[in-house]
Amino acid sequence: MIKAILIFNNHGKPRLIRFYQYFLNMQLQIKHLCTNKMAEDMQQQIIRETFHLVSKRDDNVCNFLEGGSLIGGSDYKLIYRHYATLYFVFCVDSSESELGILDLIQVFVETLDKCFENVCELDLIFHMDKVHYILQEVVMGGMVLETNMNEIVAQVELQNRMEKSEGGLSGAPARAVSAVKNMNLPEIPRNINIGDINIKVPSLSPF
Amino acid sequence: MLGYDVSWAAFNIVEVMSSSKFTYKRIGYLAASQCFHEGTDVIMLTTNQIRKDLSSPHQYDTGVALTGLSCFVTPDLARDLANDIMTLMSHTKPYIRKKAVLIMYKVFLKYPESLRPAFPRLKEKLEDPDPGVQSAAVNVICELARRNPKNYLSLAPLFFKLMTSSTNNWVLIKIIKLFGALTPLEPRLGKKLIEPLTNLIHSTSAMSLLYECVNTVIAVLISLSSGMPNHSASIQLCVQKLRILIEDSDQNLKYLGLLAMSKILKTHPKSVQSHKDLILQCLDDKDESIRLRALDLLYGMVSKKNLMEIVKKLMLHVDKAEGTTYRDELLTKIIDICSQSNYQYITNFEWYISILVELTRLEGTRHGHLIASQMLDVAIRVKAIRGFAVAQMATLLDNAHLLTGNTQRNGICEVLYAAAWICGEFSEHLEDPMQTLEAMLRPKVATLPGHIQAVYVQNAAKLFATVLRKHEGETDSQAAQETSQLLIDRLPLFVQSANLEVQERASCILQLVKYIQKLQQKNVEVAEEVTALFAGELNPVAPKAQKKVPIPEGLDLDAWINEPPSESESEDEKPKAVFTKEEHKHSRSRHTEVDEKELARRREVRKQEQANNPFYIKASPSSQKVYDAPGVEHIPVVQIDLSVPLKVPGMPTSDQYLKLEEERQQKEKAERKKKEKKKKREKRGKERKADSGPESEEDIRPAHQVDIVTEEMPENALPSDDDDKDPNDPHKALDIDLDKPLADSEKLPVRTHRPEVLKSPAEDRVNESIPQETNKGSGKEKKEKKKGKEKDRKRSKEEKKKKKHKEVEEELLESQPEEAIQSEETKEATAPPTSTSTEEETAPSSAAAVDTSSAAAPESEPDEPKDAEPEDTKSSKHKKKKQKKEKEEKEKKKKKRHHHHHHHSDAGGEDSVQNGTVEEEEPLPPMSNYSLLAENSYIKMVYDIQGNHQDESKVVVSVIFENKSDSFLKSMEFNVLDSLNSKLQRPEGAGPHDSLTVPFQLPPGVSNEARFVFSVQSIVMPQKLKGTLTFIVKSDESSTHEKLDFKLHFTCTSYLITTPCYSDAYAKLLESGDLKGSSLRLEGISMPFHHLLARICFHHHFSVVERIDSCASMYSRSIQGHHVCLLVKTSDQTVSIDAKCDEPSLLGNVLDEIKQTFSKC
């Protein structure tokens, strides 16, 4: 099973967080004592730890990492890929094939690329919901749902079309986008383009 | 969400989830999946919403609901929705099927009872035509089987077939992984697997698949390794492929290669050892993950010969390592490697002690306690090394300041614990006990953790005793008195300690020393008595030895000390399990006896073997030979001073020992022959060796003797017996035998409203045992039980109940099309008076599993005789359905008076529905929306028309074909003459007049359902379509072509879809003024009001919005979005219906149809 999917950028800013397991601090085993705040803290801690583990690795070392102390257990592994400014990290247990997950990340990224036409970090920021919807067609509840890219794209397209036929969010996103654009966001480099995203991983064997 | 707490928005999320617009619904579910979890309290509000979305005809509504649910499913949700999800597993759209299949895993985890009923259908999905669904099913079963493989062995043939036929690498990988989990349980499977797997290894180009194949082959080989002729070819192939992986430039493959290699290592260390060069090379890799994996491998590669060399290499890495994690890992690995199988590979323990001491110089390691326990272990168990160890520990204590350093949380100070204890316990070996004593009583010690201080204090006393004895004979008692004074001076520091243990020990010893000092001043000889305080040797005790101590005879732990309380139950049986039976029988001493006899026997056997083995050259001094652990204890202690200088001055460096070791081996060669004669004599002198046979001279000798820890165990026990399982593991509950036929009690909860759903299988079982026709009593019992359980929930508000109630009605309606998918279920819906014997026997057990909607009583199972109730006909089922509804209506009425009774009777009523009893209350007549389409002597067709949310211009006509003849009906073709307004949807490419083939054939007495989609343009008018069914009647002698004409009647009602509406929305709708009114009066209606409402709901697809006494408002919506509102009032025998709708002609027609319905009865 996939326990969590994290996407963050080179600076550790999370761009997508998807936990399929409710992580709680092990010292606070008693559930009712754990507020949502604690759970969020735990998630933040996990992201932080994962970022520290992943970010200090060179690009030419292997893509597997024995799980951090927080996600816990010897059964867990971090499998990640680094594309331009983004890290895609999957936290999985031993029932998943390591190379298979690497491939899945590739499929996911290529799907994003197709849906957003040259995906870049900004797409993930402004269309967080869409990224989630795409992810939902790939992984469901921690299990791999679909690996065929065309199928995924087709389902996403169909749903988007339905949304459009309902009139979408009646201009709400447009307003939000313009609002965000007028904000001063110094950290976000505006012209990241990872068009060569597919060329970055040529060593991938046909799956 | 994104690291922020949004729990405050939980309720708003629920609101968005329930929006009717897909756009919003999707966002709602996304938000829910991101921030809901088991503890979220609003989740319980979502059950009905999710259920509604699941049964939505719109595939993407269902899709988002499933996706969302998969992330926040709770035990309650799982239980309530299991049945709905199971129905979805047979959805027509593969997209939904695959999601439904996947989510079942989550449901199983949260609600294990659902596994058995759902499993047959899950199994079916393994052979689903859609590859996505297939892969989802494989995925789920693999996840399940990974935790409890033995229950899935029976699926092996099916998977084997899939493996050889599938080309989807994802599926293959999963299956191969699954086989890896199954083979250890079934060696025969392994033998079968080897060949196809080897073929795959040779043929596949996908590295991931290759890797998984190799992995599984390894698993197979491991399972076969016992008692099989060698599969050396396969092993060679694996190792060879892995070597290719490891040598690959891709770091990922290298990593995985090492990972797989470590699995082979366990059973076939030899084949891995030949690749030592490669692995040592990997130790230098810049990638930490790879280095760690290589370390794992090293564990299995060491031998007596290369241990020192390897550890030296590791020590170098320790010095170089940067991250503490990696360094800690190295440290544990070094200790693991050295201590494995009872220090099997250590030939020189002085070297090992030096290594441990060197390791203490590591800064900031967390594994101080590990080093400490190794030191203790070695010092206690290797007697010959004690002198050396004590010297080293004394040095450590002297330099304690180096260890304690600055940080409080420095784990390394743990070694001082070991050092102090060793120095104290074996103080007779100390050269200068006084100096050590002084070191142990330095004020700085007070900064150490409490438990270490306690050991310091205690062992200071032991040292004191030693010092006293040393100075005993001397005439000048000055030295001894100085020691006492030292203690008296320094101990008060510890007496003030905050740690109770330290405080207590310190004050005890302080008083003792003061007393001794007094005696000393009187010149009394005290040394002997003081030493006596610490006399006796401490032996190593195996972990869990305590647990293995047998119960003395005559001690019955289960006996009551006092009179047992009156209602004693069988619970007190449990403690027995702690002790195994043998332990009751034998006393402890006999165990050791048996062990020793066994050992002696084994030694004899081994000697025989060796004597016959030409490769054992008797006089060979080679030290490479492997020997087994039990032999070690019979090896005489070597006079150490012969080979190794005992004392290495100062802090030792382990490197010295490398050279020394070489020298030693040289020397040994020479010494060996000489000593052979001596040995026998030495041996006799040893304790505990009375029965040891003549020594086999081929065993290589370590420098020191190792005590075998099992001596302290009453019985051979693995260090980790049974407690290594996590009690919280959700998979534990899923350890369920799946091959047993389904019992009646295992039905999934029916989807009705909440109280019934809560019924646990245990309660069901109570019912089962009582004859069904008479189980009213048991029903009551159940009510009682439930009352307690659900009190809290019962106090739900009036409004909620209404909603639930409405829900039930809807469900009854909605359930029909779903049921219809299953051939068995169709019958209930149609209510023809057929008996169970006519049931189709196609999918028996799976049907049982799904056949759980309220109307679907279990009797339809041909393979479950228990369930077959001949007297229970289909019509009775319908009665039940109605009864239930009626009951609820009644309860509603009674609500005000019998408020707290409400739910009991509710539950009771449900029981009766489930179990097929006839209630004594007035039953509702059977209701069915299926009406006769056409009938002749061969075939009968009934049909029902349902609107389709998904597409506003489509309706689905479900037609049930029932074969009334004794012949076989086949090649049925269905055709309708299209009108301008309504058209039969034909597959692409078919002409407008082509007929549709009915996708099944009918054996005699069987019925089945087919669905046809029609597109309609205008829905305001009822329409009729003419059609023809042609079919071939095939009997034994002949086959004839037959035809049957029919007229499909599309009523306006059939364009209505049951849509729930909240009262506020309803009020708004009426206020808006867009609706045009009309009214209707029905005279002479004698049926109760709730019957009336139920009828309108059922036949005309309405839902009750609100009901007050004899007045009710109802709502429905057409497929094209027209709102239809009714206000139904009754007084005496007159019913007046005021209706409003935005399309007057539609309304008129609907009212006409309602009128017609009631005129019929």
Which of B21, B37, B289 has its CB closest to that of A65?
B289
Q: Which amino acid is at A177?
A: V
What's the rounded Cα separation, in Å, for the pair B556 and B552?
Answer: 9
- Is A145 in Cβ contact with B99 (below 8 Å)? yes
Angstrom distance (rounded) from CA A132 to CA B1065: 32
- B166: helix, strand or coil: coil
Q: How far is A1 from chain B (nearest CA, A)?
A: 8
B1110, pLDDT greater than 50: yes
Looking at the complex, report in whole angstroms how far the Cα of residue B600 sits from the nearest Cα belonging to chain A.
Answer: 41
Give me the residue from A58, A95, A163 closest to B23, CB to CB: A163
CB distance B60–A148 less than 8 Å? no
Burial of B1088 (0-12, 13-18, 19+ CB in 10 A): middle
CA distance A113 to chain B (A): 21
Please report the ipTM that was assigned to this predicted complex. Answer: 0.82
Q: How far apart are CA B278 and CA B263, in angstroms?
A: 16
Q: What pLDDT was estimated at residue B410?
A: 62
The predicted pLDDT at position B842 comes to 40
Indicate whether B697 pLDDT > 50: no
Rounded mean pLDDT, B1133-1137: 83
**Token pair of B876, please?**
């009775």
Q: Which residue in B has a C-alpha nearest to residue A1's C-alpha?
A: B143
Cβ-defined contact of A100 to B7 (cutoff 8 Å): no
- A43 neighbourhood in chain B, CB within 8 Å: 3
Helix H or strand E encompassing B1129: strand B1123-1131
Which of B13, B62, B71 to probe by mutation at the A interface, max A CB count within 10 Å?
Answer: B71
**Weakest mean pLDDT among A77-86, B564-573, B850-859:** B850-859
Q: Is B1114 helix (H, G, I), strand (E, B) or coil?
A: strand
* CA atoms of B935 and B928, how far apart (whole Å): 18
Which of A97, A144, A147 is the mutation pick for testing B, counting most B CBs within 10 A?
A97
Q: Distance (Å, rounded) from C-alpha B382 to C-alpha B707?
A: 6
Of A40, A145, A162, the CB nearest to B102: A145
CB contacts under 8 A, B 223-282 vs A, are 250-252, 254-256
> B275 and B243 in contact (C-beta within 8 Å)?
yes
- For residue B838 the two structure tokens come to 């006519």
- CB distance from B1121 to chain A under 8 Å? no
CB contact under 8 A, A62 and B292: no
Provide the sign of the torsion angle of the four alpha carbons B433, B439, B443, B444, taken in this order.
negative
SS3 (DSSP) at B304: coil
Q: Given a cut of 50, is residue B658 above it in pLDDT?
A: yes
Other C-beta atoms lying within 10 Å of the C-beta of residue B1107: 20
List residues bridging with B945 in a β-sheet.
B957
Cα–Cα dist B759/B748, whole Å: 10
Chain B residues closer than 8 Å to A142 by CB: 70
Instruction: For A101, name the nearest residue in chain B, comparing CA atoms only.
Output: B208
Mark yes or no for CB contact A168/B23 under 8 Å: yes
| pLDDT single digits (tens) B597-628 | 666 676 666 666 655 554 444 443 333 333 34
Q: b vs e for B862-884, b when ≥16 Cβ sit within 10 Å of the residue's Cβ?
A: bebeebbbeebbbbbbbbbbbbb
Count the Cβ atoms, other than its own, within 10 Å of residue B1129.
15
Span B806-827, mean pLDDT?
Answer: 44
Residue B1144 has pLDDT above 80, yes or no: yes
Residue B646 reports pLDDT greater than 60: no
Contact A166 B22 (CB under 8 A): yes
Q: Judge: A40–B3 Cβ closer than 8 Å, yes or no.
A: yes
E strand residue ranges, B392-533: none
Nearest CA to CA, how far is B246 from chain A (Å)?
12
Rounded CA separation B187/B223 (Å): 6
pLDDT at residue B1022 above 90? no
Higher pLDDT, A207 or B306: B306
Dist CA B485 CA B290 (whole Å):
58
Q: What local confidence, expressed as pLDDT, does residue B808 receive?
A: 46
Mean predicted lDDT score pLDDT of chain B:
71
* Contact: B208, A132; criterion CB under 8 Å: no
Tell me: pLDDT of B674 over 60: no
Closest Cα of chain B to A99: distance in Å?
5
Contact A143 B143 (CB under 8 A): yes
Q: Does B729 touch chain A (CB under 8 A)?
A: no
Nearest Cα to B656, choosing from B666, B648, B664?
B648
Give how far B207 is from chain A: nearest CA, Å.
7
* pLDDT recorded at residue B162: 84
What chain B residue is nearest to A45 in terms of C-alpha separation?
B3
Query: Hey, CA dihedral for B229, B232, B237, B243, is it positive or negative?
Result: positive
Which residue does chain B place closest to A136, by CA atoms?
Answer: B67
Partner-chain residue, chosen from A62, A143, A205, that has the shortest CB–CB distance to B139: A143
Interface of B with A in 291-320 (CB under 8 A): 292
The CB density around residue B261, as the number of other CB atoms within 10 Å, is 28
* Residue B1000 tokens, joined: 């099944």
**A-chain residues within 8 Å CB-CB of B106?**
141
Test B37 with A39 for CB contact under 8 angstroms: yes
Least confident of B818-822, B928-932, B1009-1013: B818-822
Q: What pLDDT, in 10s, does the model give residues B199-218?
A: 888 887 788 888 888 888 87
Residue B934 sits at the vertex; the CA angle it makes with B930 and B936, to the nearest 5 degrees, is 130
CB atoms within 10 A of CB B890: 17
Whether A140 and B1 lie within 8 Å, measured CB to CB: no
Long-range pairs, B787-794, Cβ under 8 A, ≥24: B787/B903, B787/B904, B789/B758, B790/B755, B790/B758, B790/B903, B793/B754, B793/B755, B793/B758, B794/B755, B794/B900, B794/B902, B794/B903
The answer, for B1157 touching chain A at a CB cutoff of 8 Å, is no
Mutate to test the interface with A, among B2, B30, B259, B952 (most CBs of A within 10 A): B2
pLDDT over 70 (residue B684): no
For residue B156, give every residue at least 6 positions away whose Cβ sits within 8 Å of its Cβ, in sequence order, or none. B179, B182, B186, B189
Contacts of A61 in chain B (CB under 8 A): 251, 286-290
Other beta carbons within 10 angstroms of residue B172's beta carbon come to 24
Q: How would DSSP label each residue in B681-744?
A: HHHHHSTT-TT--PPPTTSPPPSS----GGGG-SS---SS-STTS-TT-GGGGG----SSPPPG
- Please tell me the distance from the alpha carbon of residue B3 to that of residue A14, in angstroms, as a whole number: 8
**What confidence tier does B650 reach under pLDDT thresholds 50, 70, 90?**
very low
**pTM for this model (two decimals):** 0.52
Average pLDDT, consecutive stretches of 10 residues, N- to C-terminus, chain A (207 residues): 89 87 57 59 82 83 74 76 90 86 91 88 88 90 88 90 76 60 55 47 43
Which residue's structure tokens are 């039976």?
B581
Q: Which of residues 153-212 of B touch A (CB under 8 A)?
A: 169-170, 173-174, 177, 205-208, 211-212
3-state SS, A4-30, equals EEEEEECCCCEEEEEECCCCCCHHHCC
Q: Which amino acid is at B190?
A: G
Cross-chain Cβ contact B169/A20 below 8 Å:
no
Say yes or no: B837 contacts chain A, CB-CB below 8 A: no
B666 touches chain A (CB under 8 A): no
Chain A residues whose beta carbon lies within 8 Å of the beta carbon of residue B64: 136
- H or E stretch at B313: helix B307-320
Determine, for residues A97 and B173 on separate chains, whether the beta-carbon distance falls below 8 Å: yes
The count of CB pairs under 8 A between chains A and B is: 152
Contacts of B792 (CB under 8 A, 6+ apart): none
Both structure tokens of B255: 């990593």
d(CA B844, CA B823): 11
Which residue does chain B place closest to A69, by CA atoms?
B325
| Dihedral (CA of B22, B24, B27, B29) sign | negative
Contact A98 B177 (CB under 8 A): no
Residues of B in contact with A141 (CB under 8 A): 67, 70-71, 73, 102-103, 105-106
Between the CA atoms of B752, B754, B756 and B761, what dihedral angle is there, to the nearest 10 degrees?
Answer: 110
Least confident piece of the model among B132-136, B472-476, B494-498, B763-767: B763-767
Tokens of A36: 């949502």
Region B789-802: mean pLDDT is: 46
Kindly determine whether residue B30 and residue A133, on different chains, have CB atoms separated by under 8 Å: yes
